[in-house]
Amino acid sequence: YYVFHQESGAHVVLAGDVSGKGLQAAMLVSFLLGSVRTEVESPAAILEQMNTRLSGSGHGGFVTCCSARLEADGTATLASAGHLPPYLD
């Protein structure tokens, strides 16, 4: 998971998983987080950017991610790419 704090008071939260273990999986997570640090305007845009960066990488595994943008007023926007849906209580 990773949380981006925005100047507007919003928070962008990423929760995901990569297949595999060890150095290869850790490097993939590092690569993906580095690719989205500049793309935080919407959850869908974040997932689209991650998909673009990952396509053709020859990774051979899979990545899942749920992205949420939580506004200062409590409004939430979610997008998911193969990840389990968030629980709402």
**58: region left, alpha or beta (phi > 0 left; psi from -120 to 50 alpha):** left
* 79 CB-side CA count, 13 A: 16
Alpha-carbon distance values, 79 to 21, 23, 25, 52, 85 (Å): 25, 28, 23, 16, 9
Q: Whole-prediction pTM value?
A: 0.76
9-34: pLDDT as tens digits: 889 998 888 888 888 888 888 888 87
